[in-house]
Structure 1
Amino acid sequence: MTDPIEHIATTGAAIPAGHYAHATAWQNLVFVSGQLASRPDGTQTADQPFDRQVKQALANVLTILSEAGCGPRNVLRVTAYIVGVENWAAFNRIYAEVFGQAKPARTIVPVPELHHGYLVEVEAIAARAP
């Protein structure tokens, strides 16, 4: 029996540092693992301003979704973890620029800290056309 769960990987995002895939897909659903703002070559950007980290984290998510055959309009839900509730407005502004007319369901969760000192982590669920 073949595994019905597809594991998605791309060279356009940093290699996962733990025991997880960039994304998994089951039937037409794609689940993107939480993405920090590391560059595709794995170098860290935790020392960069919040805005740059958001742009990189969202770029990572969209690159992985593209590998799975999805774009922003295919995204059903986004969850973002941000350090500091004061960063909410900046996240929202950049998110709106990146997603344009696409308006997936979204949750922003303020947290006290993230791994490696990052200020944002983003995960997503999308649907591929059947």
Structure 2
Amino acid sequence: MKKAIHTEQAPQAIGPYSQAVQVGNLLFTSGQLGMDPVNNIFPATTAEQAKQSLENVKAIVETAGGTMSDIIKTTVFLKDMNDFASVNEVYASFFEQPYPARSAVEVARLPKDALVEIEVIVQL
């Protein structure tokens, strides 16, 4: 049985989807933009948006009863792959070894013209 996960500590869904869905001991988050959940404003830089995106992910994971160390897979969507190094630096500050598996891809456009979006899979 699937269960929707919702927190006010992350931006609200901007469409017909859940912030995350839990199935058994697995949690799948929707992509989290780097938008502040209080004022719905994006920071200026890709690195700042990556940090906020991961803060949003963290809030959702914690609401489901997990921690960042429970994340087993991440997908990072970047507007510009030239920002990979700065995002990677921020990303590294949120995770410890053993690191989750990760994919990073450049995309043509993200919702609300964001610079980065991150989704995760968590084993609770």
Aligned to 1:105: 101
Structure 1, unaligned runs of 5 or more: none
Q: Which runs of 4+ in 1 moved over 6 A?
A: none
Q: Is 1:9 aligned to 2:3, yes or no?
A: no
Give RMSD over aligned pairs: 1.2
1:70/1:91 CA distance change after superposition, 3 Å: same
Give the alignment of 1:55-74 within 5 angstroms: 55-74=51-70
Q: Is the 8 A contact 2:76 2:105 kept in 1?
A: yes
Q: What is the DSSP-based 3-state SS (H/G/I as helix, E as strand, rest coil) of the residue aligned with 1:78?
A: strand
* Number of aligned residues: 124
Higher gyration radius (CA): 1
Structure 2 partner of 1:93? 89
Does the Cα contact within 8 Å between 1:83 and 1:114 map onto a contact in 2?
yes
Alignment CA distance shift 1:94-1:102 (3 Å): farther
Kindly indicate whether the alpha-carbon contact (under 8 Å) linking 1:15 and 1:42 is maintained by their aligned counterparts in 2.
Answer: no
Q: Distance in 1 between matches of 2:80 and 2:60?
A: 26
What is the letter of the counterpart of residue 57 of structure 2? V
Tell me which amino acid in the other structure corresponds to 1:98: F
What's the offset of the Cα at 1:100?
3.1
Deviation at 1:42?
4.8
Instruction: Tell me the distance in 2 between the aligned counterparts of 1:25 and 1:120.
Output: 24
Q: Which amino acid aligns with 2:45?
A: P
**Identity rate of aligned residues, in percent?**
33
Structure 2 letter corresponding to 1:49: T
Q: Distance in 2 between matches of 1:40 and 1:102?
A: 29
Q: How does 1:68-83 map to 2 (within 5 A)?
A: 68-83=64-79
**Which segments of 5 or more consecutive residues in structure 2 lack a partner in the other structure?**
none
Q: Which residue of 1 is the match for residue 49 of structure 2? A: 53
Spell out, residue by residue over 1:65-88, the C-alpha distance to the aligned partner (whole angstroms, 9 max, x if none): 000111111001000100111111
CA contact (8 A) 1:83 1:113 kept: yes
Whether the 8 Å CA contact 1:72–1:102 is kept in 2: the answer is no
Instruction: Report the Cα distance in structure 2 between the residues aligned to 1:102 and 1:52, rounded to whole angstroms.
Output: 24
Cα shift at 1:59: 0.5
